[in-house]
Amino acid sequence: MYLVELLQGDRRHTVGLFAEKEEAIEWVESVPYVHKQVDVFDEHEFVNYSMNFDELPLYEEIVWKKSRFPLTKYMFTPDDGEITVLIWDRLVPMDEVDGLTDDATQVDAYVIPNAEAARYIQSREEIREALFNHYGKRAETGGVGSEDGEYITVENGPFIHLDALTVQQWDEKTSIEQFIELISQ
């Protein structure tokens, strides 16, 4: 199932659930006020949908198959900017899940596939412990919850982001000393 929502600031309007992603896209693209933007990054196509308050009708029913969705500019405000039309990743009813759920988990500022989340978090904590053991009171953490994510600063030493690259370097290390030398360059 794929959930479609309309988002602007703190306002969130659920359109509905669609059995297939193609149906969700079909509904979104049937709305005459929706703008489609396609970006290509590293040979991957990313599609974003949005609407502008000034273009929305006073009231209109968006008809798709047998459904009618009421759309009005009064669902939004003129001051909160662009309205995002979001098609969520595939949602699976929990009673159909056997084992770990699909999708991803946000870890600080980064999104990690669920299958890798436990190992990723364990590696981050091992990095923190190793750096605090090595540098002692000269090390401090910061940036938790920030856009760039958590980091460790060392007085007269390196600045280390606890990001995916750092975790990968930790996982591939031959020794703690080799890792500290690598991040100190």
The amino acid present at 93, given as its one-letter code, is P
Q: Are residues 7 and 87 in the same domain?
A: yes
Q: Are residues 16 and 85 in the same domain?
A: yes
pLDDT at position 134 over 90: yes
Q: Are residues 6 and 86 in the same domain?
A: yes
The pLDDT of 148-163, averaged and rounded, is: 92
Render pLDDT for 60-86 as a digit per residue (tens, 0 to 9). Answer: 999 999 999 999 999 999 998 899 998
Measured in degrees and rounded to the nearest 5, phi and psi for residue 168 equal -60, -45
Judge whether 8 lies within some domain.
Answer: yes
Instruction: Give the model's pLDDT for residue 179.
Output: 93
Judge whether 98 lies within some domain.
Answer: no
Q: Are residues 111 and 70 in the same domain?
A: no
Instruction: Give the model's pLDDT for residue 109.
Output: 84
Instruction: Give the model's pLDDT for residue 35.
Output: 97
* CA–CA dist 95, 146 (Å, integer): 35
Quote the distance between the C-alpha of residue 184 and its chain's center.
Answer: 30
Quote the distance between the C-alpha of residue 131 and its chain's center.
Answer: 28
- Helix count and strand count (H, E) for the chain: 4, 12
Q: Are residues 68 and 111 in the same domain?
A: no
pLDDT at position 6 over 90: yes
Task: Identify the domain boundary among 49, 65, 92.
Answer: 92
Q: Are residues 11 and 78 in the same domain?
A: yes
Q: Are residues 73 and 147 in the same domain?
A: no
Judge whether 78 lies within some domain.
Answer: yes
Q: How many domains does the chain have?
A: 2
Domain hosting 17: range is: 2-92
Q: Are residues 6 and 78 in the same domain?
A: yes
CA distances for 144 relative to 106, 107, 149, 163, angstroms: 13, 10, 6, 12
Judge whether 43 lies within some domain.
Answer: yes
Q: Are residues 63 and 23 in the same domain?
A: yes
* Prediction pTM value: 0.66
Instruction: Give the model's pLDDT for residue 173.
Output: 92
